[in-house]
Structure 1
Amino acid sequence: MRKCLRCGTEMKENCAIKVEGAGYGIIMSSDENKLFGGRIGKPKVAICPKCGEVSIYVEDVEKL
């Protein structure tokens, strides 16, 4: 359970980031020189239903 840093309300987790007008999302990588190297995974988003604060996080921190 994530709590909002601004107001302390429980956030809605496991939301996704999508690029508007495209069917794909965002992938995070630890190596900017390789196209598919060092993939960390897809970022997750938590949204506060009270104030609208958005928090981006990684579920699998073992890949860091």
Structure 2
Amino acid sequence: MKRICIQCQTEMINDCKINVEYDLSGITIKQKRKGLFKSASARTKASVCPNCGFVALYIEEYEKFNK
């Protein structure tokens, strides 16, 4: 999916990895639901604007969170 920077309207570079210092697992988004084994989770990715440096976080498995 093509992402456009909300700051300067330049096409962003997708699929960048995110690592938190001293933690190699990065950032994960989780949603708890009712019931056993009903939670949803996804790894976070980033898009970076090569023009102004704006960073946007996103997940590719967003359909899991719609249930």
- 1:1-56 CA distance string (max 9 Å, x none): 1010010101000011101133221111102xxxx862321011000000000101
Unpaired stretches in structure 1, ≥5 consecutive residues:
none
Task: Report the TM-score, using the length of structure 1 for normalisation.
Answer: 0.81
Match of 2:45 in 1: 44
Name the CA distance, whole Å, in 2 between partners of 1:7 and 1:55.
13
Q: Which runs of 5+ in 2 are unaligned?
A: none
* Higher gyration radius (CA): 2
Distance 1:54 1:38 in 2: 27
For these two proteins, the number of residue pairs brought into alignment is 61
- Following superposition, which runs of at least 4 residues in structure 1 exceed 3 angstroms of deviation? none
RMSD: 1.9
Aligned identity (percent) is 38
Q: Does 1:57 align with 2:35?
A: no
Name the TM-score, length of structure 2 as normaliser: 0.78
